[in-house]
Homo-oligomer: A and B are copies of this chain.
Amino acid sequence: MNGGPIEFYFDFSSPYGYLGAQRIDAIGAEFGRVVLWRPVLLGVIFKITGQSPLVSQTLRGPYAARDMARSARKLGVPFALPEGFPFSSVYACRIFYLLDGRSPEEAKKYARAVYHSAFAENRIVAEPEDAIALAATLGHDPSTIRAGMQEPAVKERLREETQQAMHKGVFGSPFVIVDGEPFWGNDRLGEVREWLQTGGW
């Protein structure tokens, strides 16, 4: 490894987070960097910043919907805003951190599955049982997951990561921090790559 980890902050209900998740690990691998995936509850941060979800905003909303689809076409990945969007991702987040405590790779697999379900298969992962059932498709025991996601330490980890994110200046999704340098937005991943390649400017 050539340097510290890349921090990849995202919200499971974020279309641009879904798009960013398609590329961030390849960028990390190219430069020998570990990528730490960190789902957070953007709704909690929005309460502090006074923002509202992008797609519900006048003028910005229709543009965002068009741009999301266009950005997905460019990447060649399936994309549609699912019914029930935006959705609460607290249970998916808890399962992520439950898995992350044992294996970051298993947690990433779960995160990719949540994103794929929501934005490629029109099935949001909002209810506890939906979040558990998705984990089961990856081979995790449902009752172990159901019990684990109620652990105070898991709930606390999610709260802590969301607070940490805010303290680091995270206000949107995806939000990447590399060597202390913050980059907001899927459309900045090219710059993240250049930053890693050049050491910054």
Contact = CB atoms under 8 A, between A and B. Distances in A.
Interface of A: 45, 48-51, 57-60, 62-63, 66-67, 70, 73-74, 166, 169-172, 182, 184-185, 187-188, 190-191, 201
A79 to B, nearest CB: 13
Number of copies: 2
A48 to B, nearest CB: 6
13 contacts: A45-B59, A48-B58, A49-B60, A50-B57, A50-B58, A51-B57, A59-B166, A60-B171, A63-B184, A67-B184, A73-B201, A187-B188, A190-B190
A57 B66 contact: no
A66 to B, nearest CB: 7
A98 to B, nearest CB: 28
Contacts of A62: 169
Contacts of A182: 63, 66
A50 B73 CA distance: 30
A147 to B, nearest CB: 36
A11 B24 CA distance: 33
A89 to B, nearest CB: 20
A103 B137 CA distance: 65
A98 B171 CA distance: 41
A184 B187 CA distance: 11
A172 B201 CA distance: 26
A74 B201 CA distance: 6
A72 to B, nearest CB: 10
A142 B8 CA distance: 54
A192 to B, nearest CB: 12
A73 B200 CA distance: 10
A117 B159 CA distance: 46
Contacts of A67: 184
Contact of A187 (B51, B170, B187): B187
Contacts of A60: 49, 51, 171-172
